[in-house]
């Protein structure tokens, strides 16, 4: 029995090693019409294999609620209910934004119909086409309907694996606004356009002549977009639910399964996750951080950065950031220098610089934002004071005439007083003698 | 004094002054005057250095210069106070008291000078 | 010799003199007691608290001195003031006041009397006012005699003009500065009279103490040289003048440059050049006198005269040239505005906006000085009669102080001592004449002076102070009469004397009543705590300020930055202990203008400013509910003016008025006014108080529109009981990177307008057109 027990444990732990887990929790809520649950079995099984606990809920169900007393109940939420026009009371666009501020990651799918998510998409700076205009493409030639399009995976994507098979897509595209927090994952093919099947192409021609304004066509449209909120939560918008369905995954030479895996890994904080473990600052010759520095001091600033390894579920020191900057700021950056990794010390970034000649309250600011990677932000406030009143160079040699003058005056004073008093006593003695 | 020709008035006037000075002042006052001249020279040297070479460090210049000027005026005050001609002006200040005042003033002056010199 | 009133004649002169000095000592101690007691109204009515605004900073600085020692205080850099610029306190403060408190604190602790530093700070001003009374006594004694001295001490002990700046709790520089002023002047006069270098040195040391204590030391720096110059021009140059002035000037100036805040100013700014010029002039004149004593040749004297005049002209030319070139700094704005009164309003709005810098209104002269103000010219004229050197000083002081007091309300304080002195001289002369017991012989024979005889009138002064009645003694000692032929003019009848003396006593009593009333009602308010009367007459305390500051102290993180108008900076720093953006020191005009711009601009413009300065909370004062007229909406135009000084193209004052030129806050208010952050913060949710009725602003007496303003970038954090202080929290950037207005609209449920994909043509056309 013992041996079986240990064998089982060993096997379970091994399986744990093989699975990549999220860095921010394992509980996932899937909002999906119960009738369609079976259509996505490959996707859900893949998630369960990775170690996520899935909870299913219909869009109009009351339970389980997403947030209890303003505390998010789940780490991640997948909303694939693209057919329902109304959701339950606790899933509203406003509450989803609240959840993101609480750290919940969202994976949402849009559809041709108007769902509550359509109004939320515009808050994420996504521009949706008019209702009822799915993405349509005549190329490549295929037997499938026009709205089922194979999209080649991009060559150098941050989120998708390299050398992926084409991804089959069916749904609506969206245009991207100018929000820098958007992370495009998959663009529409350049020969696709959004059209309802009834109208002709005149509208498209007009829009093309206007320089593309209002033109729902081309690779400027995106079908899968990620979003990194300022609090660290991630959201991904998919133009259609079918990308994750079994039907598309089972197509020959389809990259949908890998696509779904990659997108879920990125959205649920498995890949491309960084954090600042600690930061310290001290003088060049010292080791402990001071409460305040003096102007023109040589200051050393060190940051420890680690990267989440999904395979081992551990945070590992990471020295791969080559373009991190440190700003020493008082209203405007007075010093902006590169924070480079230290060779021989994994995960450590350090720089030595001279404090400016200006006194004030400064901040060490690391503000590293790259698309796809977690935003790194750290701010440490420290005063920089002028030298103490006797910290200035004193008794300079250039002032020797003044020192000589002052000392000679004092000496002269003493000599004079002595001579005067001696003279006085002499005079009084003389006066006494003459009396 | 017999009137002198106009051209040589300044030089002869100075000469006259010098003679009168030599005769009318006592030895003690002349001793004070010698100290005064020394202080004036020291001050002029410092001022010249400041103007010609550099004003940095300004506080050292000011305190050195002020020490000579201060000592100068204190000594001049002492001189006027012990001068027998001025006795009816200084009714409450005997020459001994004058010297005590002079000493106190000089010590305070030097205290401030040395505090500020560095 | 015949006497109008029978006097005891068997007293020896020594007994008389001893009794007189004993009476004088008792009188002075009672005056000190009265001075201290009449300043304690605020402590008894409210509590032992630091008043107003500026004293809070002095109190904080003194706490640092008491807890960390003098060395740390001297090098103290305050990172919580003027965030994020910080303030180098050691180099920008007059340390005299804090050093005095520190010395007293350490002294008492050395005697094993641990007195809390707050109590020392609160009670320092009354203590020093007793010393001021004594210094004024000494000063006036030099002018006339001891009886005038006692009168002057009594006057300055209770006169409202001085009390207003030295009540218990008013822990400001003037608390010790007036004592130092009078004592320095006393030492100067004594030095001049005796021709003693010792008194000159003592005057210089106290002058140094004064420089360390108050920025108004410039007054002494110019008064004493002016006096010396006038004496020279009157032909009264003596060796005594030379001794006194030279010893004072050299030691005093050298010592004053040791204060870091003053630094090298005494040799490089116009305000100090007069002293240097007179010093040089004195040397030349002294040298001339010396040479002249040796030589009698007229021609030589002529040459020397020419040399003297040319030296003077050269000196003035050099001064003008150096000022033009910039080596000598011209008059700084603060002092220049005393000469050109319109200057500050145009160029330095911050100076013009301080209420204490406004010209004095006529009623304040009577309020502060009562009957002294019409005795004052009489005293000055009596100085003209005697016209010794020291009287010249009083005359000059009186003239200059009168001018300055007319220009700025704040400078009433420098007028008060000389008014007390001159009035005391006049009053004492009056009493002398009518209390002199001697009557001339019916024959026309010269009567010689006899020993001084006491008269026994002791008028009482009653005080309605805090329940205890203190009696004051004024003993008039008649001076020795010089022998002169008695003319039969004069009033010698006892009944006439009695009437006059009773009248004088009545005037003094009225004076006491007035002073006590003015002190109790007008000058004893801590201004941190307000008091009003309920309908049944009981006192209702309005403690909103402290309520808000303590809320900040207890409910915000220690590093939370608070933005408010600069008036409240010191109080926030002192009571709430939070970093502030601007405070009463007003040393950085651009920083204040930035705060003004944030307050007077719309939310979109103000939000980046708030975020750039890491502001967490914004604090405004609003008096509309209670009728408190010192609120920020009334000060709003000054914020606009100051911001306009730095950003004239973005902020224009006329935009905040209606097209007809009125300053309105109701529905007719201009758009710039309605959208400004200050307006929104003041009236946010104000109409909810009136439950559907018309919202009325009690200060402006206008009715507000039903729809109050909305705020997107701020959240209301706290509003005090009477809505006087309102605190708002600044919202952080939106999670999704949206602008806060749209984010708010979304949170309320509004939908965004549909938009289209952007045109790609723009970049091409821009390239094609260039």
- Residue A81: partners with Cβ closer than 8 Å, 6 or more residues away: A31, A32, A33, A58, A59, A87, A115
B108: nearest CA in chain A?
A410
In a domain, A397, yes or no: no
Chain B hits for C318, Cβ within 8 Å: none
**The pLDDT of residue C595:** 93
Please judge whether C77 and A175 are an interchain contact, meaning their C-beta atoms are less than 8 angstroms apart. no
Domain boundaries, chain C: 541-732
Structure tokens at C744: 């708010």
Q: Which of A201, A236, A267 is the last residue of a domain?
A: A267
Tell me what ipTM this predicted complex has.
0.85
| Domain of A29, in residue numbers | 16-267
Q: How far apart are CA A218 and CA A215, in angstroms?
A: 8
C-alpha R_g of chain A: 35
Distance from CA of B55 to the nearest CA of C (A): 12
C491 touches chain B (CB under 8 A): no
Q: Residue C759 is nearest to which of A123, A210, A389, comparing CB atoms?
A: A210
Co-location of A257 and A280 in the same domain: no
Q: Is the pLDDT of residue C750 over 60?
A: yes
Q: Quote the pLDDT of residue C424.
A: 92
| Per-residue pLDDT at C606 | 93
Cβ separation A409–B42 shorter than 8 A: yes
The whole-angstrom separation of Cα A342 and Cα B30 is 78
Nearest to C682 by CA among C698, C694, C668, C693: C698
Q: What are phi and psi of C532, to 5 degrees?
A: -140, 180
pLDDT tens-digit readout, A186-241: 999 888 888 776 555 666 677 667 666 667 888 888 999 999 998 889 999 998 89
Least confident interval from A284-293, C87-96, C335-344: C335-344
In C534-680, DSSP assigns E strands to: 539-542, 561-563, 615-621
Q: Which residue has the tokens 């449209």?
A: A221
Alpha helices in A109-155 (DSSP H): 116-123
Interface of A with C in 121-150 (CB under 8 A): 122-125, 127
pLDDT at C478: 34
Q: Tokens 């106290």 label which residue?
A: C206
Angle (nearest 5°) at CA C633 between C591 and C563: 35
Asked whether residue A259 is assigned to any structural domain, the reply reads: yes
Say yes or no: B32 contacts chain C, CB-CB below 8 A. Answer: no
Report how far residue C581's alpha carbon sits from residue C579's, in angstroms, rounded to the nearest whole number.
7
- B29/C contact by beta carbon, under 8 A: no
Which residues from chain B sit within 8 angstroms of residue A428, using beta carbons?
none
A-chain residues within 8 Å CB-CB of C754? 122
- Residue A427 falls inside a structural domain: no
Question: Which candidate in C261, C263, C757 is best for mutational testing of the A interface (most A CBs within 10 A)?
Answer: C757
What pLDDT, on the 0 to 100 scale, is given for residue C457? 31
Kindly report the nearest CA distance between residue B25 and chain C, in angstroms. 9
The answer to whether the beta carbons of residues C466 and C44 sit under 8 Å apart is yes
Judged by a CB distance cut-off of 8 A, whether residue C685 touches chain A is no
Most confident range (mean pLDDT) of B103-112, C192-201, C638-647 is C638-647
Q: What is the pLDDT of residue B37?
A: 85
Range among B25-29, C124-128, C384-388 with highest mean pLDDT value: C124-128
For residue B66, pLDDT beyond 80: yes
> Mutate which of C209, C236, C247, C305 to disrupt the B interface (most B C-beta within 10 Å)?
C247
Residues in B whose CB is inside 8 Å of some CB of A read: 28, 31, 35, 38-39, 42-43, 45-46, 49, 54, 56-57, 60-61, 63-65, 67-68, 71, 75, 96, 99, 103, 106, 110, 113-114, 117-118
- C-alpha C545/C-alpha C631 separation (Å) is 12
Q: Taking CB atoms and an 8 Å limit, are C737 and A179 in contact across chains? A: yes
Flag whether A92 is in a domain: yes
pLDDT, tens digit (0-9, with 9 covering 90-100), for A139-175: 888 888 888 888 888 888 888 888 888 999 988 898 8
Task: Give pLDDT, residue C453.
Answer: 29
Decide if A408 is inside a domain. no
Which of A293-297, B15-19, B90-94, C766-770 comes out lowest in average pLDDT?
C766-770
- Which chain C residues contact residue A100 at CB under 8 A? 735-736
For chain A, the domain total comes to: 2
pLDDT at C619: 93
pLDDT of residue A201: 64
**Is A406 in CB contact (< 8 Å) with chain B?**
yes
Residues A206 and A303 occupy one common structural domain = no
Q: How confident is the model at residue B86 (pLDDT cuts 50, 70, 90)?
A: low
- Mean pLDDT, rounded, for C606-628: 91
Tell whether A82 and A168 lie within a shared domain: yes
Question: Both A186 and A297 in a single domain?
Answer: no
Angle between helices C117-143 and C54-68 (to 10 degrees): 110
In a domain, A432, yes or no: no
Asked if pLDDT for residue C753 goes beyond 90, the answer is no
A11-20, C266-275, C630-639, range with the lowest pLDDT:
A11-20
- Which chains does chain C touch, 3 or more C-beta pairs < 8 A? A, B
**A262 and A333 both lie in a single domain:** no
Which among C91, C260, C757 has CB closest to A127? C757
Grade residue A2 by pLDDT with cuts at 50, 70 and 90: low
> How much is the average pLDDT of A365-375?
91
| Chain A residues near residue B60 by CB distance under 8 angstroms | 396, 399, 402-403
Strand-pair partners of A106: A77, A235
Q: DSSP 3-state assignment of C436?
A: coil
Helix (H) or strand (E) holding C106: helix C96-110
Residues A111 and A224 in one domain: yes
Of A244, A267, A290, the position where a domain reaches its end is A267
What pLDDT shows up at residue C500? Answer: 87
Q: How many residues does chain A have?
A: 435
Helical ranges in chain B per DSSP H: 9-24, 27-52, 58-82, 95-117
What CATH architecture does domain C541-732 belong to?
3-Layer(aba) Sandwich (3.40)
Beta carbons of A389 and C75 less than 8 Å apart: yes
Interchain pair C197, B101: CB under 8 A: yes
Q: Considering only CA atoms, which of C665, C681, C655, C677 is closest in space to residue C602?
A: C677
Which pLDDT tens digit goes with each residue over A104-142?
999 999 888 888 888 888 888 898 888 888 888 888 888
| Cross-chain residue pair C201–B102, CB shorter than 8 Å | no
Dump pLDDT digits (tens) for C63-72.
Answer: 888 888 888 8
CATH code of the domain covering residue A356: 2.60.40.1930
C588 in Cβ contact with C82 (< 8 Å): yes
- Of B32 and C441, the structure prediction assigns the larger pLDDT to B32
Question: From the CA of C365, how many Å to the nearest CA of chain B?
Answer: 41
Taking contacts as CB-CB distances below 8 angstroms, the residues of chain B near A423 are 28, 31
Residue scoring higher pLDDT (B7 or C378): C378
Q: Which CATH number do you get for residue A162?
A: 3.40.50
Verify whether the Cβ–Cβ distance B49 to A417 is below 8 Å.
Answer: no
Q: What does the pLDDT look like over C221-276, one tens digit per residue?
A: 989 999 998 888 888 888 888 888 988 998 888 888 888 888 888 877 877 888 88
Strands (E), A46-118: 53-57, 67-68, 71-72, 76-79, 105-109
When pLDDT is averaged across residues C129-149 and rounded to a whole number, the result is 90
One domain, residues A22 and A159 = yes
Domain's final residue, options A385, A401, A425 = A385
Residue C400 sits at the chain A interface (C-beta within 8 Å): no
**Strand, coil or helix: C576:** helix
A129 in the same domain as A34: yes
Q: Are A114 and A245 in a shared domain?
A: yes
Which one of A396, A409, A419 has the shortest CB-CB distance to B67?
A409
User: Does A405 sit within 8 Å of B118, measured CB to CB?
Assistant: no
Question: In Å, how far from its chain's centre is CA C549?
Answer: 26
Q: Does A398 contact B at CB distance below 8 Å? A: yes
- Is there a contact between C757 and A388 if contact means CB atoms under 8 Å apart? no
What pLDDT was estimated at residue B87? Answer: 66
Confidence at residue C549, expressed as pLDDT on a 0 to 100 scale: 93
CA of B54 vs chain C CAs: smallest distance (Å): 15
Subunit contact A413:B64, Cβ cutoff 8 A: no
Mean pLDDT to the nearest integer, A416-433 = 73
Answer yes or no: do A310 and A227 share one domain: no
Task: List the single best residue of C736, C748, C767 to mutate versus A (max A Cβ within 10 A).
Answer: C736
Contact B117 A402 (CB under 8 A): yes
Same domain, A293 and A316: yes
- Distance between CA atoms of A48 and C264, rounded to whole angstroms? 78
Residue C327, min C-alpha distance to chain B (Å): 13
- Interface B:C, Cβ pairs < 8 A: 114
> A327 pLDDT exceeds 90?
yes
CA-nearest residue to A414 within chain B is B103
**Per-residue pLDDT tens for C100-121?**
999 999 999 899 988 888 888 8
Inter-chain contact B28–A398, Cβ cutoff 8 Å? no
Q: Is residue A434 part of a domain?
A: no
pLDDT band of residue C465 (cuts 50, 70, 90) is very low
pLDDT reading at B2 higher than 80: no
Q: Are residues A29 and A58 in the same domain?
A: yes
Once rounded to an integer, what is the mean pLDDT over residues C428-437?
82
Between strands A135-137 and A293-294, the pairing is unpaired
In a domain, A422, yes or no: no
């Amino acid at each position: 029995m013992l041996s079986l027990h240990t064998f089982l444990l060993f096997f379970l732990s091994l399986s744990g090693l093989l699975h990549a887990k999220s860095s921010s929790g394992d509980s996932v809520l899937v909002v999906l019409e119960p009738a369609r649950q079976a259509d996505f079995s490959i996707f859900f099984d893949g998630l369960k294999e990775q170690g996520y606990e899935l909870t299913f809920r219909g869009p109009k169900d009351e339970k389980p609620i997403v947030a209890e007393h303003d505390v998010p109940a789940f780490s991640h939420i997948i909303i694939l209910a693209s057919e329902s026009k109304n959701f339950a009371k606790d899933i509203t666009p406003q509450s989803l934004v609240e959840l993101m501020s609480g750290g919940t990651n969202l994976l949402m799918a849009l559809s041709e119909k108007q769902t509550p998510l359509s109004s939320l998409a515009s808050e994420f700076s996504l521009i949706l086409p008019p209702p009822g205009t799915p993405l349509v493409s005549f190329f490549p030639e295929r037997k499938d309907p026009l709205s089922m399009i194979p999209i080649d995976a991009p060559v150098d994507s941050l989120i998708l694996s390299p050398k992926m098979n084409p991804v089959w897509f069916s749904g609506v595209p969206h245009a991207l606004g100018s929000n820098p927090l958007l992370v495009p994952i998959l663009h529409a093919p350049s020969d696709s356009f959004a059209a309802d099947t009834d109208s002709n192409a005149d509208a498209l021609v007009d829009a093309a002549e206007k320089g593309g304004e209002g033109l729902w066509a081309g690779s400027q449209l995106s079908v899968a977009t990620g979003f990194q909120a300022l609090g660290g939560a991630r959201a991904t918008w998919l133009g259609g639910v079918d990308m994750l369905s079994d039907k598309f995954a089972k197509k020959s030479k389809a990259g949908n399964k890998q696509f779904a895996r990659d997108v879920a890994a990125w959205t649920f904080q498995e890949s491309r996750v960084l954090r600042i473990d600690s930061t310290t600052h001290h003088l060049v010759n010292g080791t402990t951080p001071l409460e305040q520095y003096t102007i023109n001091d040589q200051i050393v600033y060190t940051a420890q950065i680690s990267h989440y390894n999904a395979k081992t579920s551990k945070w590992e020191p990471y020295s791969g950031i080559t373009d991190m900057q440190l700003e020493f700021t008082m209203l405007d950056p007075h010093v902006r220098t590169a924070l480079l990794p230290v060779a021989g010390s994994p995960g450590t970034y350090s720089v030595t610089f001279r404090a400016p000649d200006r006194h004030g309250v400064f901040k060490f600011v690391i503000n590293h934002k790259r698309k796809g990677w977690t935003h790194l932000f750290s701010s440490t406030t420290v005063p920089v004071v002028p030298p103490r009143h006797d910290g200035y160079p004193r008794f300079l040699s250039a002032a020797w005439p003044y020192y000589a003058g002052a000392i000679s005056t004092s000496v002269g004073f003493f000599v004079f007083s002595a001579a005067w008093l001696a003279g006085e006593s002499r005079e009084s003695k003389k006066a006494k003698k003459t009396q | 004094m017999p009137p002198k020709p106009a051209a040589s008035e300044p030089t002869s006037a100075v000469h006259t002054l010098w003679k009168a000075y030599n005769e009318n002042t006592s030895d003690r006052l002349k001793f004070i005057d010698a100290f005064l001249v020394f202080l004036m020279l020291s001050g002029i040297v410092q001022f010249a250095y400041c103007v010609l070479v550099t004003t940095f460090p300004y506080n050292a210049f000011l305190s050195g210069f002020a020490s000579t000027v201060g000592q100068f005026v204190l000594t001049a005050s002492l001189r006027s106070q012990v001068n027998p001609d001025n006795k009816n002006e200084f009714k409450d200040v005997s020459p001994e008291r004058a010297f005590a005042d002079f000493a106190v003033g000089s010590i305070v002056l030097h205290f401030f000078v040395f505090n500020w010199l560095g | 010799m015949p006497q109008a009133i029978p006097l005891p004649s068997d007293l020896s002169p020594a007994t008389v003199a001893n009794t007189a000095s004993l009476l004088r000592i008792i009188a002075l101690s009672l005056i000190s007691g009265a001075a201290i007691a009449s300043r304690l109204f605020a402590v008894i009515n409210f509590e032992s608290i630091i008043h107003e605004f500026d004293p809070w900073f002095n109190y904080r600085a003194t706490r640092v001195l008491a807890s960390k020692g003098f060395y740390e205080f001297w090098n103290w850099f305050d990172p919580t003031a003027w965030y994020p610029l910080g303030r180098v306190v050691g180099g920008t403060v007059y340390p005299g006041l804090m050093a005095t408190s520190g010395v007293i604190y350490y002294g008492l602790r050395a005697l094993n009397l641990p007195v809390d530093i707050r109590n020392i700070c609160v009670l320092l001003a009354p203590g020093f006012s007793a010393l001021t009374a004594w210094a004024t006594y000494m000063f006036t004694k030099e002018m006339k005699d001891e009886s005038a001295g006692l009168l002057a001490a009594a006057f300055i002990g209770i006169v409202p003009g001085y009390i207003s700046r030295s009540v218990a709790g008013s822990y400001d520089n003037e608390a010790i500065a007036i004592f130092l002023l009078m004592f320095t002047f006393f030492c100067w006069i004594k030095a001049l009279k005796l021709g003693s270098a010792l008194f000159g040195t003592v005057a210089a040391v106290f002058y140094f103490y004064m420089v360390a204590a108050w920025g108004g030391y410039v007054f002494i720096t110019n008064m004493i040289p002016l006096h010396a110059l006038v004496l020279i021009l009157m032909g009264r140059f003596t060796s005594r003048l030379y001794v006194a002035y030279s010893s004072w000037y050299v030691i005093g100036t050298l010592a004053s440059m040791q204060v870091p805040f003053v630094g090298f100013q005494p040799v490089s700014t116009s305000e100090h050049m007069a002293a240097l010029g007179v010093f040089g002039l004195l040397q030349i004149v002294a040298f001339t006198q010396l040479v002249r004593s040796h030589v009698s040749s007229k021609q030589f004297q002529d040459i020397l005269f020419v040399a003297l005049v040319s030296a003077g002209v050269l000196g003035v030319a050099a001064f003008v040239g150096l000022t033009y070139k910039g080596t000598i700094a011209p008059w700084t704005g603060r002092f220049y505005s005393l000469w050109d009164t319109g200057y500050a309003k145009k160029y330095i709005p911050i100076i013009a906006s301080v209420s204490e810098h406004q010209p004095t209104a006529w009623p304040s002269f009577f309020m502060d000085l009562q009957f002294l103000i019409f005795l004052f010219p009489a005293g000055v004229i009596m100085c003209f009669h005697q016209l010794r050197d020291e009287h010249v000083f009083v005359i000059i002081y009186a003239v200059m102080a009168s001018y300055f007091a007319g220009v700025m309300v704040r400078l009433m304080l420098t007028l008060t001592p000389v008014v007390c002195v001159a009035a005391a001289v006049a009053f004492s002369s009056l009493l002398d004449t009518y209390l002199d017991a001697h009557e001339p012989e019916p024959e026309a024979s010269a009567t010689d002076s006899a020993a001084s005889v006491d008269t026994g009138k002791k008028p009482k002064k009653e005080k309605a102070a805090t329940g205890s009645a203190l009696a004051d003694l004024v003993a008039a000692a008649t001076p020795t009469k010089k022998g002169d032929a008695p003319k039969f003019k004069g009033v010698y009848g006892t009944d006439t004397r009695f009437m006059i003396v009773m009248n004088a006593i009545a005037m003094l009593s009225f004076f006491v009543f007035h002073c006590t009333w003015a002190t109790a009602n007008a000058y004893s308010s801590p201004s941190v705590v307000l008091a009003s009367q309920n309908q049944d007459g009981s006192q209702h305390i309005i403690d909103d300020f402290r309520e808000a500051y303590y809320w900040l102290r207890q409910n915000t993180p220690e590093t939370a930055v608070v933005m408010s108008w600069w008036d409240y900076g010191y109080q926030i720093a002192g009571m709430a202990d939070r970093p502030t953006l601007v405070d009463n020191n007003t040393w950085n005009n651009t920083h204040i203008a930035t705060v003004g711009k944030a307050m007077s601009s719309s939310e979109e413009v103000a939000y980046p400013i708030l975020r750039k300065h890491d502001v967490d909370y914004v604090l405004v004062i609003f008096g509309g509910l209670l009728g408190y007229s010192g609120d920020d909406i009334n000060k709003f135009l000054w914020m606009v003016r100051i911001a306009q000084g730095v950003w004239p193209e973005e902020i224009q004052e006329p935009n905040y008025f209606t097209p007809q030129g009125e300053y309105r806050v109701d529905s007719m208010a201009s758009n710039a006014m309605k959208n400004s952050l200050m307006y929104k913060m003041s009236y946010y949710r104000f109409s909810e108080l009136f439950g559907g009725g018309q919202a009325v602003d009690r200060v402006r007496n206008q009715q507000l529109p039903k729809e109050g303003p909305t705020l997107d970038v701020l959240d209301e954090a706290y509003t005090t009981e009477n809505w006087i202080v309102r605190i708002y929290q600044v919202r952080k950037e939106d999670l999704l990177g949206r602008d806060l207005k749209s984010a708010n609209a979304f949170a309320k449920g509004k939908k965004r307008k549909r938009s289209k994909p952007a045109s790609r043509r723009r970049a091409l056309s821009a390239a094609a057109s260039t």
